[in-house]
Chain A
Amino acid sequence: MAKAKRGNATSSSKMADNSDKQAEKFSLMLDSSDDEAPEEVTFEDSKTQALRSMKQALDTARREKELLKEKRRKRQELFQEQKKRKLLPADVLEEIDPTSSKKPRQSEDEAEEEQQKGDGEKELRKKKKKTRGKLAHSRILKGNYTVATLEERSMASFQQQAAEDFIQSRLYGPGSCRTTSNELLSLQNKKGWNKSAAVQFVKKDWACKEKAKAEKLKKRWIHKQHISSC
């Protein structure tokens, strides 16, 4: 701390120092004959000075933190206000409320999402319609809102998936020394008495969509050539 202080002192008051030094030099030069003893600074004084500067540093840090906090809080408040402004009016929420406590929150969230995207009811209806296919039960209320229950994709399925992945990685993952049946049969073909090609050497169903498209284009091109030549 003392070092830092000294450092600070030097950096902040370099100019002062220089001038001081110059002044000192000047004064030295002027008062070279004075041989003044250096000023005596008591321990107490220097201690209080050190403490004061420490406190000052702490204070500034605290103040800065508080300022940041204030700023953040203000921003958060602003966002909340904006959100509240964009929410559905209270009476619509009341309508959705009697169905269950979970559903209005879901629909609210969905609604918020929708609102935040920018468009109004139209988008909401569209999104609700899209998700209706996935949801199990749905109720249509008056207006353009649908409330539906979501499927329970809880922890159980996540754990089940993790367990299945464990088995999969132990039996088929790296280090399991497995080969495909294609490879096995191909090796048999190569090593047997009647050596033949590997199994599925030519993959007939490879890129079938692209092949069909190419066929169509070819036909079209031929047709065009035919027309242009006639």
Chain B
Amino acid sequence: MGEFKVHRVRFFDYMPSAIRAMAFNRQSERLAVARADGAVEIFNFSDNYFQEKVIPGQDSRAVEALCWVDQRLFSGGLNGEITEYDLENLKPRYTVAAYGGPIWTISSNNQGTMLALGCEDGTVKMFEVLAEKVQFQRNFDRQKGRIISLSWHPSGTLIAAGMMDMIRVFDAETGHATHRLLVERGVGASKSREVVVWSVAFLSDHTIISGDSAGKVQIWDGVTGTLLRTHLVTKWDVLALSVSQDQSSLVAGTSEGTVIQFQLISSTVGQQDKEWVRTRTFKNHSHDVRALAHTETAVVSGGMDTQLVVRPLLDKVEKNTQESSLRKIVFPHRSLVCCAKKAGLLLFQFPEHLELWRLGESEGHGKPGDSLTVKTKPEKLIQLKRKGEDHICCSALSPCGGWMAYSTVSSVRLYRLQYNNNNIGITKVSRLPKDLCSVHQLCFSSDSSKLFASSSHSSVIVVALNQQECTYLHTLKPKSSSRQPVHLLFASEDGKWLATANTDCEIHIYNLDKLKLHCTVPVYSSYPTAIAIHPLTSNLVVVHADQQIFEYSLEKKEYTEWSRKLQKLGLHSLWLERDTPVTHITFNSRNPAHIILHDMFMFCIIDQSLPLPEAKTLLYNQMTLRSVPEPERIRHSHAFKICKNFQVWSSH
């Protein structure tokens, strides 16, 4: 076993953004999450809750509400615009101004034909959803206050709108307001402030449920316009409501961070009269819960503490299984740190700027587990602010440390870095090839002579880098007609191979000498989360979102012996139960049998020369091995050596 020096980097102060809105698409089982900085993320719930796509944010786009119409995603924001997102090219497709002031809420009817917007000026605007765009149809009767929340009746004929101090029921055909339900203000000091109806839900039996800023969840009869029941759930605001598909369960999110479930059950067994009864309370957040989604088996909540929590409901799933465990998705499922091995530099990607740091140095040797003294402290060399309004989508640093690149949805920027003694100079490379416009992933070749950029239709653009400029070389296209974006790129160390993986689960290998497609790895149903090519054996190692590991030989174009052995034996159950995906794979130059990989919470070295762990053996056995005397260790050790001491963002 080799010895490794670990640089503990504690200066990457990444701050995630608060979750502002979410929308669940039942057909494709995908959750769209909108964050406070305007970024939109798509999580695939059927594939281990993997964060499939990230559309970077924009300065002025303050998303307040998200809505799915079939497979199209729309958002309305405080800038008064409706945005449709292009999920294949990971950018906004177009924006339409609503001319009603800031948009507070957006909702589509069940048929998927109309979009209703609630605006600041008190109008409910109807937009028709057409094939290529949305078109304004009409306004409803203008009201005196702002429209904060909307809910369609499942039949599409009525809309309930939550405003200040009241709820209005509109007739969708005529646009006239039929009922006005007055919401009581809070007691005591809050009597003087208007109560805001933050969220409404309209059920098919004409029951309206509202959550307001006085902390009440109220049940109304939508036909007569009367209040049926009031539940005071909190002293603070009830910010979000979500109803399950079968309308028997409702969840309410509060400013306290609690999520309260109500269920439609009859108070005595056997009776027919059902009513909404408060059942469970979940306290999984430390700050306000601003967005909720009620899926068939779970409650998904997100809010100001930036974590996405999936809480399966125990009456819908089997207890004590992988399915029934609480999941907290905290960190992004992709790598935000790039390391230049030869130069000892780190590039940190933030949404609005990039930071380049030089690693510190230490001297001396020590036993495993010791901390060495730091001779030179790590220093920040460059902080580069992005130009324009768009946030940074991806970034890369060349292994020699001489080139730095980042891309946004609208442009790509390339910089040349020069080091003379203690100074560092940075010059922008102007006049990039025209094809480099909207790029999802960037990667430098290991000799820093080429830049690979993934573009639309899963193609990769190859650009050659000379002293001060770059020239377009070639576009690598896969044989399949996939339109999905490429989210992983890896250039082999000998400069011969380039591996790409896209969100259609396709992995393509290109031969860089001949600049054409070499082979396609057989498609596995789960998303690849990390890929790497071994420098000596030219084997491709892939880890998927469901934690499966494959090794594919590029020369022979088939799975390797070790990979087949692993698949036959199966991975250890504890390995498969890990809930964060592996984001990086690398290799040990001193021992070719090692594969080093990590996810957010653990760091693992797979030794291919050792036997694989059986299902019953202890997986995390590093601590026990240390306590066992030397000769015994060989007997007990297996291939997976896992260390959980550090939270790992990157490893090289």
* A→B interface (CB under 8 Å): 156-157, 159-160, 162-164, 170-171, 175-177
Report the nearest B residue to A184, measured CB to CB: B286
A164 CB to nearest chain B CB (Å): 6
Contacts of B120 in A (CB 8 A): 159, 163
Q: Which of B78, B79, B104, B236 contacts A177 (CB 8 A)?
A: B236
Given contacts A160-B78, A164-B78, A175-B193, 9 further A-B contacts (CB under 8 A): A160-B62, A163-B78, A163-B102, A163-B104, A170-B213, A171-B237, A175-B190, A177-B235, A177-B236
* B→A interface (CB under 8 Å): 60, 62, 78-80, 101-102, 104, 120, 189-190, 193, 196, 213, 235-237, 255, 288
- Supposing A171-B255, A175-B193 touch, asked if A160 and B288 sit within 8 A by C-beta, the answer is no
Q: How far is the CA of A159 from the CA of B97 in the complex (A)?
A: 14
Contacts of A175 in B (CB 8 A): 189-190, 193
Q: Which 10 pairs between the two chains have the least Cβ-Cβ distance?
A: A163-B102, A160-B78, A163-B78, A159-B101, A160-B79, A156-B80, A159-B102, A160-B102, A175-B189, A156-B79
Contacts of B213 in A (CB 8 A): 170
Interface-central residue, B102, B104, B120, B255, by most chain A CB under 10 Å: B102
Contacts of A163 in B (CB 8 A): 78, 101-102, 104, 120
Q: How far is the CA of A160 from the CA of B101 in the complex (A)?
A: 8
Q: Which of A157, A159, A170, A171 contacts B60 (CB 8 A)?
A: A157
- Supposing A160-B62, A163-B102, A163-B120 touch, asked if A176 and B79 sit within 8 A by C-beta, the answer is no
Contacts of B101 in A (CB 8 A): 159, 163
Q: How far is the CA of A160 from the CA of B78 in the complex (A)?
A: 5
Q: How far is the CA of A191 from the CA of B78 in the complex (A)?
A: 43
Contacts of A164 in B (CB 8 A): 62, 78
Contacts of A162 in B (CB 8 A): 102
Contacts of A160 in B (CB 8 A): 60, 62, 78-80, 102
Report the nearest A residue to B103, measured CB to CB: A163
Contacts of B104 in A (CB 8 A): 163
Q: How far is the CA of A176 from the CA of B256 in the complex (A)?
A: 11
Contacts of B255 in A (CB 8 A): 171, 176
Q: How far is the CA of A44 from the CA of B235 in the complex (A)?
A: 81
Report the nearest B residue to A159, measured CB to CB: B101
Contacts of A171 in B (CB 8 A): 237, 255, 288
Q: How far is the CA of A38 from the CA of B413 in the complex (A)?
A: 107
15 contacts between A and B (CB under 8 A): A156-B79, A159-B80, A159-B101, A159-B120, A160-B62, A160-B78, A160-B79, A160-B102, A162-B102, A163-B101, A163-B102, A164-B78, A175-B189, A175-B193, A176-B255
Contacts of B193 in A (CB 8 A): 175
A30 CB to nearest chain B CB (Å): 81
Q: How far is the CA of A41 from the CA of B269 in the complex (A)?
A: 106
| CB <8 Å contact, B196 and A170 | yes
Report the nearest A residue to B190, measured CB to CB: A175
A169 CB to nearest chain B CB (Å): 10
Q: How far is the CA of A163 from the CA of B62 in the complex (A)?
A: 10
| CB <8 Å contact, B237 and A170 | yes
Q: How far is the CA of A153 from the CA of B79 in the complex (A)?
A: 12
Report the nearest B residue to A164, measured CB to CB: B78
Q: How far is the CA of A163 from the CA of B76 in the complex (A)?
A: 13
Contacts of B78 in A (CB 8 A): 160, 163-164
B205 CB to nearest chain A CB (Å): 31
B635 CB to nearest chain A CB (Å): 44
A181 CB to nearest chain B CB (Å): 8
B164 CB to nearest chain A CB (Å): 10
A106 CB to nearest chain B CB (Å): 23
Q: How far is the CA of A119 from the CA of B356 in the complex (A)?
A: 46
Q: How far is the CA of A175 from the CA of B422 in the complex (A)?
A: 54
Interface-central residue, A160, A162, A164, A176, by most chain B CB under 10 Å: A160
Q: How far is the CA of A177 from the CA of B104 in the complex (A)?
A: 24
Q: How far is the CA of A157 from the CA of B60 in the complex (A)?
A: 8
Q: How far is the CA of A176 from the CA of B287 in the complex (A)?
A: 13
Q: How far is the CA of A67 from the CA of B101 in the complex (A)?
A: 48
B187 CB to nearest chain A CB (Å): 12
Q: How far is the CA of A123 from the CA of B20 in the complex (A)?
A: 48
Q: How far is the CA of A177 from the CA of B186 in the complex (A)?
A: 14
Contacts of B237 in A (CB 8 A): 170-171
A31 CB to nearest chain B CB (Å): 80
A174 CB to nearest chain B CB (Å): 9
Report the nearest A residue to B97, measured CB to CB: A156
Q: How far is the CA of A45 from the CA of B651 in the complex (A)?
A: 112
Contacts of B235 in A (CB 8 A): 177
Q: How far is the CA of A177 from the CA of B102 in the complex (A)?
A: 27
B13 CB to nearest chain A CB (Å): 14
A199 CB to nearest chain B CB (Å): 15
Q: How far is the CA of A156 from the CA of B81 in the complex (A)?
A: 10
A212 CB to nearest chain B CB (Å): 18
Contacts of B102 in A (CB 8 A): 159-160, 162-163
Q: How far is the CA of A159 from the CA of B80 in the complex (A)?
A: 9
Q: How far is the CA of A164 from the CA of B62 in the complex (A)?
A: 9
B431 CB to nearest chain A CB (Å): 18
Q: How far is the CA of A226 from the CA of B196 in the complex (A)?
A: 70
Contacts of A159 in B (CB 8 A): 80, 101-102, 120
Q: How far is the CA of A82 from the CA of B196 in the complex (A)?
A: 56
Q: How far is the CA of A162 from the CA of B146 in the complex (A)?
A: 12
Q: How far is the CA of A176 from the CA of B288 in the complex (A)?
A: 12
